[in-house]
Amino acid sequence: MGPSFLKWIQALLLSFFYAHGSCSSVEQKIYVTLKNTTPCVRLLNATHQIGCQSSISGDTGVLHVLETENDLEWIAETGPHAPYMVLMESLAFTRCCVYTELYGPELANCNATVWKSTGERLLSYEDFPFPIFSLFSLPDDNETQVIRKLCDPLMDYNVWATIRPINATAKGHKQNESMVIAATRETFDYIGSSRMVYDMQNNKSVIDFDNVHSFLEIGQVGLWNKRNMWMHSDPISRRNVSVNEEVGSLVSNIKSAASTLNLSLDEPNATQALPPSSFQRFLRVRPIPGVVLADHQSSFINKYYESLYDTAEYLKVSYPPDLSPEEQLEYETEAAKLLYGFLVNSNNSYFRSLLPRDIVSKERNSIFSLSPPQYYVSLSQNQQPKSVTTFVKYVLANMTGTATSLNQSQCQNPKDVPGESKDLYLYDWVYGSESENHTKGEPFCVRAPVRLAKAVSPAFELQQYGSKEYSTWTESRWKKIEARIFLVASPQLQMLTLGVGIAVLLVSLLGTYFISSKADILFSSSHDAPNTTY
Amino acid sequence: MTVAVFFGCAFIAFGPAFALFIFTIARDPLRVIILIAGAFFWLLSLLLSSLVWFIAVKASNADDTKLQKGLLIFGVVFSVLLQEVFRFAYYRLLRKANEGLAAISDEETSPISVRQMAYVAGLGFGIISGAFSMINILSDSLGPGTVGIFGDSQYYFITSALMTLAITLLHTFWGVVFFEGCEKSRWWVIVVVVCLHLLVSSLSLMNPLYEGSLPPVYVVTVGMAVWAFFSSGGSINNLSQLFTRKI
């Protein structure tokens, strides 16, 4: 038993080295957790729900790659291993494919003018009783969730700036001749503009309605190829004679300005209603003369406006293939730089040069990514503005502000410097443009009349959770959303395991009973007591 | 569906131990006590060996995979030796207890024989070691997934259950043979038991090559069963007596 046995052991140990990979837990051998996914989440307001929801303990299905439309029949009807989880290209994610007869197309359209002919592509504002994950990754703004009640209100910040500085502490007072540029977070029922209007009505904003002389909204102007823009106005408020006159003069002013730029501007049919726009929230309060500039006469040209597909890929933004990221950034015009930053790649030298140095040099949770910023309004987390809002803020600061000669400490504490006031301006020590060899920017202090205003629906401020006046969209509370891929044992193997188990149990019960009942015979040696007897 | 796998594995791993407990242990409080105490002794050995292994792993370089594998093998060998040391310690304790039991007994003899104690103590070792090796696997067997997405064998759960079953039975037989060897001062018996324990444990290091580990373990189990039968007073004569009586 000695030497041969040792050899045995040696052989065994060698085979262990060969066969055994690493000692990891069983779960790691079973599941592959999908990383870089963007889940679809459940959004709710007082009356409706959209987004996705899984069963209470998650959904499981056989993964099936949808290659052709013929696979649909297999998945929905003939396939023997239902339910299925479908893996498809986002292009195939259309109403015809996702909706079966179970979910009929009951979408109500507005009766007069259909602004958004959604076409075949499924957009973000639908309700699915099953989970959906997008495998192309979007930057994740939601690393930590602030949980309040069962749902959390969607919120972000509005960005606005004035041409002339106005005192931020003097709320509700008359400010003369100030012009406001606001970039609001409008998705989900005008959250941004309704909040702005609410603040103006309740003297919580530095401007109020008496300050508003007229309104010029720049709507969707991205896709005008024919050098033809449309000036939409509101037929209802134009019944008022003075408003009608003001709108007329506004239109002629814009037209004369546009003619110098070789732009042709037209007005749609006078009876056509105002397209969806922030201006509508202001008109609800009082008739204000105003115009909405857009690239569409009636229905939207951009079919994917404010949806998951409102991306460079679907807007057909493309660059010559041999350009480096920096060359793409500098391609064509100044406005194209913005387009590049907001649609293609937010981590570019132009955006970096506009932002404060401590944001640019932050290594962890950087708001820069090699993809566009996240446009979903999402929840409040640490009361911080979302990355896209931050970009808009500093782009506006760059356009409306001025570079000052203040040094870094003065920039952080401008109230000690004569002639400077934090009530009038935003001061930020920005990164500055990078030199040729891509090392570091040359920071300077920018002073701009730019402000952030909280854009959370007034319904939550007023605690009117059933409000029909204001948006009540919330995101349903969730702790962890994950998708994982795993194998399932075949029914044969499962039944084999169960069968062997039951057989072992029965045999051992019978065998033990038999042996213990006969133990006095089995274990009766001449001089010792039996073993397993009872 | 994976509930089937869970119950199948649970029945395989713990069915025999359950049957033995029901029919031979449960009705005698003294046996229950010896069983639980045996399990406690095994736990103590596990505690000590895991402590040593933990210190060894923490003190060593975690990136050196060859060293870590060596440490794992060392841990297995050390744990086996420690288990056998505690089996011997438990034997000594039971001998002492037996004397005490005999002293307070009415009939001047102990209410339980050393062979019975050996069997019960061995089963205690077996049940607790089986439970420790199987509980985590059982919880994973509830699914919904099964092992195999990285190319591992799909028979992982059932072979683990079968291995646990063998280990439980082996501990019982080893207990019987070991105590008999101690009683009769046949030290070679103890050496063989320790060696077989080492062999079985190192066979499990061959996993996931189940063809290489399971059959030898079951050969050892059957051999140990026969040995335990004879060392606890069984004989061919008894067997033939049983069958002739039955006919």
pLDDT tens for residues B181-202? 998 888 899 999 999 999 999 8
Query: To the nearest whole angstrom, how far is the Cα of A101 from the nearest Cα of chain B?
Result: 29
Burial status of residue A503 (CB atoms within 10 A of its CB: 0-12, 13-18, 19 or more): middle
Half-sphere exposure of A181 (CA within 13 A, CB side): 17
* CA separation for the pair A70, A73 (Å, rounded): 6
Between CA A224 and CA A237 the distance in angstroms is: 27
Q: CB-based contact (8 Å) between A495 and chain B? A: yes
Beta-carbon separation of A505 and B18 below 8 A: yes
Q: What is the total count of domains within chain A? A: 1
A516 at the B interface (CB within 8 A)?
Answer: yes
**What are B1's two structure tokens?**
């569906």
Count of all residues that appear for chain B in the document: 247
Looking at the structure of chain B, the number of domains it has is 1
What domain range is A95 assigned to? 26-148+482-486
DSSP element (H, E) containing A228:
strand A228-232
**Inter-chain touch A498–B5, beta carbons under 8 Å:** yes
From the CA of B233, how many Å to the nearest CA of chain A? 5
What is the distance in angstroms between the Cα of B147 and the nearest Cα belonging to chain A?
5
Q: Which residue among B9, B145, B238 sits closest to A521, beta carbon to beta carbon?
A: B238
CB interface of A with B, residues 58-77, below 8 Å: 60
Which residues on chain A are in Cβ contact (under 8 Å) with B208? 19-20
Residues of A with Cβ-Cβ distance to B223 under 8 angstroms: none
Tokens of residue B64, six digits: 């050196």
Is the minimum CB–CB distance between A169 and chain B shorter than 8 Å?
no
Nearest to B23 among A9, A20, A513 (CB): A513
Percent share of chain B, pLDDT over 90: 45
Nearest to A509 among B19, B137, B202 (CB): B19
What is the C-alpha to C-alpha distance for residues A153 and A186, in angstroms, rounded to an integer?
A: 14
Residue of A nearest to B27 (CA): A534
Across the interface, do A30 and B206 touch by the CB < 8 Å criterion?
no
Residue B71: is its pLDDT beyond 70? yes
Q: How far apart are CA A425 and CA A404, in angstroms?
A: 12
Residue of B nearest to A17 (CA): B69
Q: Three-state SS for A39? A: strand
Paired with A228 in beta bridges are: A264
Which one-letter amino acid corresponds to residue A420?
E
The packing angle between helices B65-104 and B187-204, to 10°, is: 140
| Cβ separation A9–B241 shorter than 8 A | no
A49 interfaces chain B, CB cutoff of 8 Å: no
Q: Helix H segments across B184-233? A: 187-204, 210-231
CA distance B232 to A448: 95
pLDDT number for residue A319? 76
| Residue B134 backbone class (left: φ over 0; alpha: ψ -120 to 50; beta: rest) | alpha
Best of B6, B7, B9, B11 to substitute, by most chain A Cβ atoms within 10 angstroms, is: B11
Token pair of A157, please? Answer: 């910040």
Note the pLDDT of residue B32: 93
- Residue that has been written with the tokens 């007069």 in this structure: A112
Per CB-CB distance under 8 Å, the chain A contacts of B206 are 12, 15-16, 19
CA-based nearest residue in chain A for residue B12: A501
Give the three-state DSSP class for A216: strand
How far CA A415 is from CA of A164, A170, A422, in Å, comes to: 19, 17, 7
- A99 domain residue, yes or no: yes
Give the per-residue pLDDT at A139: 41
Give the number of A-B residue pairs with CB atoms closer than 8 Å.
Answer: 198
Is the CB of A494 less than 8 angstroms away from the CB of B2? Answer: yes
**Would residue A80 count as lying in a domain?**
yes
Among candidates A330, A501, A106, which has minimal Cα distance to B13? A501
Q: What is the spatial distance between Cα A251 and Cα A274, in angstroms, rounded to a whole number?
A: 15
Tell me, yes or no, whether A450 lies in a domain: no
User: Is some CB atom of chain B closer than 8 A to the CB atom of A532?
Assistant: yes
Amino acid identity, residue A449? P
Encode A305-372 in three state secondary structure.
Answer: CCCCCCCCCCCCCCCCCCCCHHHHHCCCCHHHHHHHHHHCCCCCHHHHHHCEHHHHCCCCCCCCCCCC
Query: Is A55's Cβ below 8 Å from some Cβ in B?
Result: no
pLDDT in tens, chain A (534 residues): 445 555 544 544 444 343 343 334 778 888 887 766 667 777 777 777 777 777 777 777 777 777 777 777 777 777 777 677 777 766 666 555 454 333 333 332 333 444 444 444 444 566 666 667 666 644 443 333 333 456 677 777 888 777 776 666 655 455 555 566 666 667 777 777 888 888 888 877 777 777 777 788 877 776 556 667 888 888 888 888 888 888 888 888 888 888 887 777 888 877 788 888 888 888 888 888 888 888 877 777 776 676 666 777 767 777 777 777 777 777 767 677 777 878 777 777 788 888 887 777 776 667 777 777 777 777 766 677 777 888 888 888 888 888 887 888 888 887 777 777 777 788 888 887 776 655 666 788 888 888 888 888 888 877 777 777 787 777 777 777 777 788 888 888 889 999 999 999 999 999 999 888 887 777 765 433 344 443
CA distance B207 to B201: 11
Q: Which residue has the tokens 């210190």?
A: B55
Nearest to A493 among B24, B116, B154 (CB): B154
Distance from A376 to chain B by nearest Cα, in Å? 33
The reported pLDDT for the residue numbered A414 is: 76
- Cβ neighbours of residue A237 closer than 8 Å, sequence gap 6 or more: A243, A283, A287, A288, A289
3-class state of residue A512 by DSSP: helix
Residues spanned by the domain of B64? 1-244
In a domain, A46, yes or no: yes
Query: Tens digits of per-residue pLDDT, B35-44?
Result: 999 999 999 9
Q: Which residue of B has its CA nearest to A496?
A: B8
